């Protein structure tokens, strides 16, 4: 990566500003999944061990008005992080002002402070989300000229807490998590070891048009599953019953198939049901066509076998989007089958592009078998699409 990293700067005695992604799920004030906190630990620990004073920034949820603040304080995160680090995490509970500044000034080498939810600044004019110039300058002024961006999940957004701070410090560098995300995803797409197979699922073609187009240029094969299968089917005149379809994207689907030169591989059967919920019948289709009154909710056994064959010998695999409604045990065989086919390839570099795919791997007990699971769904999608991420672009060149 041609950007400076946290290892390229002297941290001893410095107030180091750090953008982390602590946008964790909370229920009744309790964190239900702390993966994002754990993912940030290597960078935070490194700063502490180097004698830096870590000042952490993160958003939590969306905040548009005062009432939205309820239940979105980072206080539970501060407590969880304290336990993980084995030391107190100072939490003033504010995003700016004398109380925050005094707490930062009182920090000693190796201490950690967490600023309150950066999105609280969105209540008065979306200052965080619209990269307010004054806010970026203010937050930058709280440190000693070093900013570490370790929040890949927001790297595709130009906010005051990433791009705004970067523009007002001497050095803006990547943390270990951000560095790894770029190394795995961007390098997999740009300089893959071949054969390179991309697998795309999910419900909508519209969400993945740019990704499919980019990967058709980069990958040796692009496998399609999930709900968007049926838009591709209908574009070819195949019966899809009551399956999900984007009528306004049929021409796009047809164009993608025509210019794919055979790289685009579709399922050849489905697991169909007579309703999405409260169904009374589930069965495998004989071929591509979905029965009248039924809808496809997963790829079928013939498709799993076809995809397994397509993955044979793959050295780089990028997967984004489940093959079906994996949350329901009746429709998770396709996603499980594809995951198992990926990880059994000898020497494969296997990458999950965040979002539902990451949730599927974690929930279905296969996360540890993959080379890398991205922490950012939207950001990883934009990298796969070949876009420049503002949060990454704003970092200091080596």
pLDDT tens, residue by residue, 14-50: 999 999 999 999 999 999 989 899 999 999 999 999 9
List the catalytic residue out of 15, 19, 36, 208: 36
Q: Which of 328, 236, 14, 244 is CA-nearest to residue 147?
A: 14
Residue 29 — left, alpha, or beta (φ > 0 → left; ψ -120 to 50 → alpha)?
Answer: left
Is 355 among the residues known to form the active site?
A: yes
List the catalytic residue out of 204, 254, 302, 315: 204
Pairing of the two strands 295-299 and 270-273? antiparallel
Q: Look at residue 354 in the predicted model and tell me its pLDDT.
A: 79
Q: How far is CA 284 from the centre of its chain?
A: 32
Q: For all residues of the chain together, what is the average pLDDT?
A: 96
Q: Which of 88, 97, 85, 58 is CA-nearest to residue 74?
A: 58
pLDDT tens, residue by residue, 82-100: 999 999 999 999 999 999 9
Is 36 among the residues known to form the active site?
A: yes
List the catalytic residue out of 355, 376, 377, 391: 355
Three-state DSSP state, 18: strand
List the catalytic residue out of 61, 145, 210, 378: 378
Eight-state DSSP code of residue 182: I
* Separation CA 263–CA 221 (nearest Å): 5
Pairing of the two strands 30-31 and 26-27? antiparallel
Q: Can you list the domains of the chain with their CATH numbers?
A: 6-177 (3.40.50.1260), 192-384 (3.40.50.1260)
Token pair of 245, please? 């379809």
Q: pTM score, two decimals?
A: 0.89
Three-state DSSP state, 177: helix
Positions in the chain short of pLDDT 70 = 1
pLDDT tens, residue by residue, 273-325: 999 999 999 999 999 999 999 999 999 999 999 999 999 999 999 999 999 99
């Amino acid at each position: 990566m041609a950007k400076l990293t946290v290892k390229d700067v002297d941290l001893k005695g410095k107030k180091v500003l750090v953008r982390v992604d602590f946008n964790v799920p909370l229920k009744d004030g309790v964190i239900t999944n702390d993966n994002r906190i754990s993912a940030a630990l290597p960078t935070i620990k490194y700063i502490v061990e180097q004698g830096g004073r870590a000042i952490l920034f993160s958003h939590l949820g969306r905040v548009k008005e005062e009432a939205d603040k309820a239940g979105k304080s980072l206080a539970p995160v501060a407590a969880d992080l304290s336990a993980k680090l084995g030391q107190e995490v100072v939490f003033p509970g504010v995003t700016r002002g004398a109380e925050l500044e005094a707490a930062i000034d009182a920090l000693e080498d190796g201490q950690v402070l967490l600023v309150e939810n950066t999105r609280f600044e969105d209540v008065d004019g979306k200052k965080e989300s619209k990269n307010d110039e004054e806010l970026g300058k203010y937050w930058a002024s709280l440190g000693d000229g070093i900013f570490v961006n370790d929040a890949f999940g927001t790297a595709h957004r130009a906010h005051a807490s990433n791009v705004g701070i970067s523009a007002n410090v001497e050095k803006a560098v990547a943390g270990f998590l951000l560095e790894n995300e770029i190394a795995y995803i961007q390098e997999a797409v740009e300089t893959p070891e071949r054969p390179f197979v991309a697998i795309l699922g999910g419900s909508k073609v519209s969400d993945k048009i740019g990704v499919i187009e980019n990967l058709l240029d980069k990958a040796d094969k692009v496998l399609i599953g999930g709900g968007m299968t049926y838009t591709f089917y209908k574009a070819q005149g195949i019966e899809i019953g009551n399956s999900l379809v984007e009528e306004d994207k049929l021409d796009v689907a047809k164009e993608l198939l025509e210019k794919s030169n055979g790289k685009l591989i579709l399922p050849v059967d489905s697991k169909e049901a007579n309703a999405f919920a409260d169904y009374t019948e589930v069965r495998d289709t004989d071929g591509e066509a979905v029965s009248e009154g039924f809808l496809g909710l997963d790829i079928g056994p013939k498709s799993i076998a076809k995809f397994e064959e397509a993955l044979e010998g793959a050295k780089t695999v990028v997967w984004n989007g489940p093959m079906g409604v994996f949350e329901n045990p009746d429709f998770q065989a396709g996603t499980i089958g594809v995951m198992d086919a990926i990880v059994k390839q000898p020497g494969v570099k296997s990458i999950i592009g965040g979002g539902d795919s990451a949730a599927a791997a974690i929930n279905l007990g296969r996360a540890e078998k993959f080379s890398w699971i991205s922490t950012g769904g939207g950001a990883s999608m934009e990298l796969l699409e070949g876009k420049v991420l503002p949060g990454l672009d704003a970092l200091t060149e080596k």
